[in-house]
A and B are shown apart, each in its own frame.
Chain A
Amino acid sequence: MTFVNPLALLWLTLLIPVVLLHMLKKKRRELKVSSTFLWQGALRDVNADQPFRRLIPRVSLLLQILAVIAGTFAIAKPQLGALSKPGERLCVIIDTSSSMLARSADMTRLDEAKAAVASLVSGLAPGSEVMLIAAGETPEIRSAFERDEHALERALDSVEIRGNETAIMEAVSLATARLEGDGRIIVYTDGVFEGSIPAAGDVQVEYRMVGPTEANAGITEARARRDGTNAALFVVITYAGSTEDTDAFVQVRASPGGPIVASRRVRLSPARDTPFRMRVPLQGIGANDDLRLYVSLTFEDNRRDAIDEDNLVVVAASSDTLPVVLYGDTNPYLRRALQLDPHVDLFRATQPLSEGIEAAVLARRPLFIFSGEVPAVPPPGDSVVIAPPEGEAFEATIGEEVEAPRIISWVESDDRTRFLRLDEIPLGKSRQLLGTTPLIRGLDGPVAGTVTRPTGETLFVAFDLGDGRWPTDPSFVVFFRNVIERARIRRGAGGLGSAALGQPIQVQVPEGQMATVVTPSGQRFETESQTAQQGAQNTLATVRLPIPPEAGAFVVTTGAETLIATRALLSRSESRLERQNLDEVDAEVGQAEASPDNLWWFFALLLVALFVLELFWETRKAGFSFAPKRERS
């Protein structure tokens, strides 16, 4: 047992006057007796038998001592099994992956973890320092080492679900580095995460499990392909039972945003995932229209489903083909690759943009590929700029020529670099690329980067494709296929693409203008753009819109432009709620304690009880006996 307020134990010094008052002259009732000489002898005998008799608490003294102790303990706020030691350094990691949305009663696992952390923080001894880290897809420090309880509570309030993965290893590594060997780490998690479990190393790692085992069914994968008037919808559902291992039936429904146009009854087995395909009729929707399908599932038998957020997925069912408009002298290898892609409608045009292009093609939001010169104003939608000349190109700045830059790194998590190794590719000449988000880095700076606007994004490739041997490498075709696929997905999703639950939406907004996002549940958030994008020559600023962890389509409005961003929990491990076996880890594992400081009221009640007992004792001594009183001389 530890104390939240150990200084309050100084109240125990009250015992000294209490004992002294009992030892010193005490107001005694005077009573005349026949003779005292026998009593004097008796007193000698008693004192001889018990040398410390005066110190031995009699009932009244004992009750008063206990009352002082109980009162002191109540003020000192004792904690049974307290999580903290006085003045220690703690790094608290909260799992903010999607599985923490699993509900038990009215609380999610995240709520439970936050309540436990709040109790921990409120129960800390003075001088304790706490760092708060949210472990979503990436670890985020929500509060540096902080002693102010209120500041920590505010930081705790800001913790939300971020992404479909738990970066526990990274979070523990981060915490370990920040602790510098002084302190310990407490991880509040439901144990649902992939990868290895960080064990105790230089610092002690303590895992606090939250949330009971619950049954859950969720969509882990959904893809749509349009085929004329139909859409082929491929869905994978996973189902994890809790105590019941019986099969369950769900209804899967698909809707293009209005009435349900397709549904299917699916039998789920807790032992395996259930993939199936269903066809969705698309009456009244043109073949080239953008389409988003809302796929949802519900249990037939009102079975409790732990996570609601994995029951809805918005799938971009893009048109069968993506229009691609080529400007300038396009590399023949690229042109050939595009021509061979059956899902690309290839057009060639000259500037200005509308020259030689039908309005119907422009209405389909094509992907524009510029080789060499670019127009002054970027086209709506996504575009690719290859080997731009020196100077300004859209929001980027193209610098001096660089001879044979060597590729040293690339953003592996970007879908455009999937399946690629670029480090062995010899490039010819390139140019310096400023004001873009680097995608591929050379020794002298980025050789490929992205500029994002509210209306679309532009990929800059700063080198000439023909000035090297890259077009002959298989990675060339894969790279541009990835670029085409990304453009297709972005177009189908409405422009901002999809991401994991709770991932903030980033858009570029002219400075001083508002960016508004409306969540699937109808909540509205507004943010004003303030900071200009570094290196950019225009007045656009990147705005980060934090959103709640809801699944569905978020409508983002920036000025006159309206874009769609989708968020979904598409993770098998998160939906199956399969816990890691933390018991095998060389770390302390336990249940999160919701209220470690719940003992004070017990001592307060004890104080009252002792007070009543003492009162009863004193009044009884004073002659409140129910027995008939005997007369005395």
Chain B
Amino acid sequence: MSLLDADFMRRLDRLRLAASRRFAGAAGGLRRSLRHGASLEFADYREYVRGDDIRRIDWNVFARLEELVLRLYVAEEDLHVYLLVDRSASMAFGSPSKLDVAKRVAAALAYVGLSGNERVSVLPFDKNASRVGTPARGKSSAPKVFRHLEAIEAQGETDLRASLEFLLRTQRPGLVVLVSDLFDPSIEEENGLSAMLDPLVGARFEVSIIHVLSEDDVKPSYEGDLLLVDGEGQDAVELSVDGAALKAYQARLSQFLRRIESYASSRGIRYLRLEGDEQIEERLARYLSHQTQVNARGGR
């Protein structure tokens, strides 16, 4: 497997995807479900009605109160993880390309998810989201997911809103990990991010953002009289890149990043930014490890 090396996968084996809220899963899993189920964890009492499983009647209560009361237990179900991988043309830039970084990130997350017996779906998106295929489950599905990721190629324009709306329409709530450079002009608009992500959050999706940027995105190394052509379309900017222009770009970038961070913070969205070819595995491992610890403290 070229996306993840063996050492990194061993580190990932010890980690689990952290979800701060409970989801109603489609199959039994290792996570608490919104539904009351057959686990050992007590949830609540309710009156017995005909048809209920008499094995769950609390006979001690009946002895004291002479009422048939049913013990309810927390159901443990699987977590549906949606890995939204930006495959727009802008992701082809950088060294290594942002798409390569996004694939490795998605592979790592998928591996952790599959290791935790979660249902993992990979959704590459550009202007349109691709059809969501059958979710993978179980560690044995990892090679299949990896092949799917490797096959992704950069193309088309970014339309984050359309892709998220598609997800919202078609899928059950779960953990959504958005891996993208977020170079979508609509983010610059007033409440652009809110318009895109708030519906997901409102629909009880738990959203995480992994923001992938190249070194040239952060610190452009070019200067002079340039015709900057947009990697995703025909837009072009005539610009004399000098100190003043670079300073203005940095200011714009900072503003852009602050807006995303601020929004993520306000919505409780986990946000991780990866810049250039910094040690992605290390940062990702730290991130997942931290989330796992948080999850452990919060109780499962």
A and B: interacting chains? yes
CB atoms of A46 and B183 under 8 A apart: no
Which of A28, A46, A49, A58 is B227 in contact with, Cβ under 8 Å?
A: A28
Q: Given the known A-B contacts A621-B224, A631-B95, A632-B221, are A34 and B252 also in contact in the complex, defined by CB atoms under 8 Å?
A: no
- 7 A-B Cβ contacts within 8 A? A34-B183, A36-B236, A36-B237, A42-B248, A46-B244, A621-B223, A633-B231
Q: Which residues of A contact B185 (CB under 8 A)?
A: 37
Chain A interface category by residue count:
20 to 34
Which of B231, B242, B253 is A33 in contact with, Cβ under 8 Å?
A: B231
Nearest-neighbour CB distance to chain A for B72, whole angstroms, equals 52
CB atoms of A30 and B244 under 8 A apart: no
Interface check A630, CB cutoff 8 A: yes
Which of B92, B226, B235, B249 is A633 in contact with, Cβ under 8 Å?
A: B92
Bound complex: CA of A38 vs CA of B250, how far in Å? 9
CB atoms of B237 and A28 under 8 A apart: no
CB atoms of A31 and B235 under 8 A apart: no
CB atoms of B224 and A35 under 8 A apart: no
Interface check B140, CB cutoff 8 A: no
Binding site secondary structure of chain B: mixed
* A60 closest partner in B (C-beta): B225
Which of B183, B217, B222 is A31 in contact with, Cβ under 8 Å?
A: B222
* A46 closest partner in B (C-beta): B248
CB atoms of B227 and A31 under 8 A apart: yes
CB atoms of B240 and A58 under 8 A apart: yes
Binding site secondary structure of chain A: mixed
CB atoms of B231 and A35 under 8 A apart: yes
CB atoms of B95 and A633 under 8 A apart: yes
CB atoms of A35 and B92 under 8 A apart: no
| A-B residue pairs, 4 tightest by C-beta | A35-B183, A42-B248, A633-B93, A42-B249
Nearest-neighbour CB distance to chain A for B140, whole angstroms, equals 36
With A34-B93, A36-B236 already in contact, 16 other A-B pairs whose C-beta atoms are closer than 8 Å: A26-B225, A27-B225, A32-B229, A34-B90, A34-B98, A34-B231, A36-B235, A36-B237, A37-B185, A41-B252, A42-B239, A43-B248, A45-B251, A633-B95, A633-B214, A633-B216
Q: Which residues of A contact B115 (CB under 8 A)?
A: none
Bound complex: CA of A46 vs CA of B10, how far in Å? 50
Interface check A29, CB cutoff 8 A: yes
Interface check B54, CB cutoff 8 A: no
Nearest-neighbour CB distance to chain A for B248, whole angstroms, equals 4
CB atoms of A633 and B94 under 8 A apart: yes
* A41 closest partner in B (C-beta): B252
* B89 closest partner in A (C-beta): A34
Q: Given the known A-B contacts A34-B216, A34-B217, are A39 and B229 also in contact in the complex, defined by CB atoms under 8 Å?
A: no
Nearest-neighbour CB distance to chain B for A438, whole angstroms, equals 89
Interface check B296, CB cutoff 8 A: no
* A621 closest partner in B (C-beta): B224
Interface check B256, CB cutoff 8 A: yes
* A37 closest partner in B (C-beta): B185
CB atoms of A34 and B94 under 8 A apart: yes
**A575-633 at interface with B (beta carbon < 8 Å):** 621, 630-633
CB atoms of A28 and B90 under 8 A apart: no
